[in-house]
Chains A and B, each alone.
Chain A
Amino acid sequence: MLTRKLKALKRQIVESQVWTSMFRHDYDDTPRNRFLQIMANVWLHLHPPKIRRHAIRVRFTWCMGGITFLLFLVLTITGVVLMFYYRPVGEYAYADMKYLEFDVPFGMLMRNMHRWAAHGMVITVWLHMFRVFMTGSYKSPREFNWVVGVILLTLTLLLSFTGYLLPWDQLSIWAVTVGTNMARATPLLGHEGPFADVVGVTPRYDARAFLLGGSVVGPPTLLRFYVLHCIFLPILASLFMIVHFWRIRKDGGISGPL
């Protein structure tokens, strides 16, 4: 009696105009629905509806590309939360970190997640490249996707590096100082690099000054790295990820033995 009523209720809901406007197929496990689950869903249709059997083996891919992408999503979400409380200004930045840690509800958790996921993403992107190399998956027709991958690897490191400065503590400014000191030795473009006098670059007008917005790591650097970290690099990385995923499909899905 009750089950019959429930069934009727379910039918009423599932056949209502609101429901059918959202969901275009039912959930029964039929081959048709398995296709539609993928094809009728904007997020899942990144996948093809069917793939070769070996491609779902964890032992083959180590899931590393997927985990890298997942961590990128985690970083985007926690990063937006942090942006609500953080001001990239010399006087405020460090205080805002303290505020996040002690006063903002779940602020510490968000900061920790963002930090550890960033470290994690650097490691997983290396492991992903390692796996792709070991399976020779960069070979024809996937050469170009490997190149896109190397760009993504570089962007991941740059994202991590620009973010490293933002807490504005001793660790961050000195790590970034050491990291950017090399730029002053850029051949031709850095004031301490080979042939610097030929080009005429000076400490205040060379590759490093361009990067830092000055001759030392100071408040202008903080603002510059903030913009790169929160706007420019994430957008660039997203664009290349779109290309990366698109190319996986266009190159015939994930590689495998003939």
Chain B
Amino acid sequence: MAEVRATAAAPAAKTKPAPTSAVKKAQLEDRVHVWPFLVRNEFICTLIVMVLFTVWSIVINAPLEEPANPANTPNPSKAPWYFLGLQEMLVYFDPWMAGVVLPSLVIVGLMVIPYVDINPKGSGYYTFRERPFAITTFLFGFLILWVTLILLGVFFRGPGWNLFWPWDRWDPHKVVALTNVDLASLDIGGTGLPFKWLGNPKIFGVELIGLTLSVLYLGVLPVVYYLWKKPTSPTLQTLGPVRYAIVVQLFLIMMSLPLKMFLRIAFNIKYVWITPWFNI
């Protein structure tokens, strides 16, 4: 049967022990008829879902507001709820990054998961212990960076994209001081740290500070970690430099969002890297 053939011909013979004939035999014997067992489940599930959505649709009407009016911009203008995580990123990144580059990387990043996760364990059953890094990273990305930001956008963002409690009245005139500075001109406690002491950053080259930091973050940090850990880590050895590079870049770019959130909330940092063409 197709099933058996595919399992046996799995190209992953390298990473996954080929099923022994005893296992295959057990798999073949532990089978149930789709009719009635699966079809019954599907039928019951269909009934429940249909009843649920019918009742929902009878009780709650879909929204329909005033006719479209290009001259009257509502405040706030919110994207559909499933994109509010992206809209939330606009607070921390410019549109080309938050609206184009990062979403594309989310899609690409999801697609490469199967090719960079070389851990053969934990396939076809629930486990945390056998794949802690994969699960933690995914949960962080999905639950914190995606779902939580959507909830924040739906329930806590009001006029001017300011934060409101759900029970607050939306005050369109709420004043929020714009005190954000760029990293190069940050001046902690008048000490000139971390970069102000370099003098007028314009002369020294603001671009250089951001460039150096970005190269350190995306280039040097991962390489140092790789060279340091590789001799003792079998995972890194099998992962190899190419897959490691892909994983680490995607991971660090994902972590740049919470990092920038932290910099914004703690130090009011707007941009880390300023260039004549783009700012990050």
Please choose the segment from A1-9, A140-148, A225-233, A235-243 that sits at the chain B interface, where 4 or more of its residues have CB less than 8 A away.
A140-148
Known contacts: A49-B33, A116-B57, A178-B79. The answer to whether A150 contacts B96 by CB under 8 A is no
Query: Which residues of chain A are near B23, meaning CB under 8 Å?
Result: 258
Contact of A190 among B10, B58, B96, B277 (CB under 8 A): B96
Chain B: CB-nearest residue to A247? B6
Report the separation of the CA atoms of residues A205 and B70 in the bound assembly, to the nearest whole angstrom.
20
Q: A133-B135, A138-B113 are in contact. List 15 more A-B contacts (CB 8 A).
A: A44-B35, A48-B34, A50-B32, A63-B41, A70-B49, A112-B61, A116-B57, A134-B126, A136-B127, A160-B82, A170-B65, A170-B67, A170-B74, A175-B79, A255-B123
Query: Which residues of chain B are near A249, meaning CB under 8 Å?
Result: 2-3
Contact of B100 among A160, A179, A183 (CB under 8 A): A183
Report B21 CB to chain A, min CB distance, Å: 13
Judging by beta carbons under 8 Å apart, are B63 and A171 in contact?
A: yes
Judging by beta carbons under 8 Å apart, are A187 and B101 in contact?
A: yes
Please tell me if B114 contacts chain A, counting CB pairs below 8 Å: yes
Report the separation of the CA atoms of residues A70 and B49 in the bound assembly, to the nearest whole angstrom.
9
- If over half of A's interface residues share one DSSP class (helix, strand or loop), that class is named, otherwise mixed; here it is helix
Query: Which residues of chain B are near A34, meaning CB under 8 Å?
Result: 33-36
Proximity bits, A39-73, B CB within 8 Å = 1, else 0: 00000100111111101101000010011001100
Please choose the segment from B11-19, B198-206, B232-240, B258-266 that sits at the chain A interface, where 4 or more of its residues have CB less than 8 A away.
B11-19
Query: Which residues of chain B are near A154, meaning CB under 8 Å?
Result: 107
Report the separation of the CA atoms of residues A160 and B82 in the bound assembly, to the nearest whole angstrom.
9
Report the separation of the CA atoms of residues A142 and B115 in the bound assembly, to the nearest whole angstrom.
10
Query: Which residues of chain B are near A175, meaning CB under 8 Å?
Result: 77-80
Judging by beta carbons under 8 Å apart, are A182 and B57 in contact?
A: no
Chain A: CB-nearest residue to B6? A252
Known contacts: A135-B125, A187-B100. The answer to whether A192 contacts B64 by CB under 8 A is no
Known contacts: A137-B123, A179-B80, A187-B96. The answer to whether A52 contacts B31 by CB under 8 A is yes
Judging by beta carbons under 8 Å apart, are B77 and A141 in contact?
A: no
Chosen A-B contacts, 13 in total, with CB atoms closer than 8 Å, are A38-B35, A52-B30, A52-B31, A147-B111, A160-B82, A170-B74, A178-B87, A181-B99, A182-B98, A186-B100, A193-B96, A252-B6, A252-B10
Judging by beta carbons under 8 Å apart, are B68 and A170 in contact?
A: yes
Please tell me if A115 contacts chain B, counting CB pairs below 8 Å: yes
Residues of A within 8 A of B (CB): 31, 34-35, 37-38, 44, 47-53, 55-56, 58, 63, 66-67, 70-71, 74, 94, 97-98, 101, 108-109, 111-117, 120, 122, 126, 129-130, 133-144, 146-147, 150, 153-154, 157, 160-161, 164, 167-175, 177-179, 181-187, 190, 192-195, 216-218, 249-253, 255-258
Judging by beta carbons under 8 Å apart, are A194 and B32 in contact?
A: no
Report the separation of the CA atoms of residues A142 and B3 in the bound assembly, to the nearest whole angstrom.
12
Contact of B80 among A94, A161, A185 (CB under 8 A): A161
Report the separation of the CA atoms of residues A122 and B114 in the bound assembly, to the nearest whole angstrom.
22
Give chain B interface residues in 110-134, CB to chain A under 8 Å: 110-111, 113-115, 117, 119-127, 131, 134
Judging by beta carbons under 8 Å apart, are B123 and A136 in contact?
A: yes
Contact of B67 among A139, A168, A185, A217 (CB under 8 A): A168
Contact of A44 among B12, B39, B126 (CB under 8 A): B39
Query: Which residues of chain B are near A138, meaning CB under 8 Å?
Result: 113-114, 117
- B60, B86, B113, most chain A CB atoms within 10 A: B113
Please tell me if B46 contacts chain A, counting CB pairs below 8 Å: yes
Judging by beta carbons under 8 Å apart, are B80 and A167 in contact?
A: no
Known contacts: A53-B31, A141-B11, A168-B67. The answer to whether A130 contacts B99 by CB under 8 A is no
Judging by beta carbons under 8 Å apart, are A56 and B114 in contact?
A: no
Query: Which residues of chain A are near B134, meaning CB under 8 Å?
Result: 136
Contact of A160 among B1, B15, B80 (CB under 8 A): B80
Proximity bits, B204-238, A CB within 8 Å = 1, else 0: 00000000000000000000000000000000000
Known contacts: A116-B53, A135-B126. The answer to whether A258 contacts B278 by CB under 8 A is no
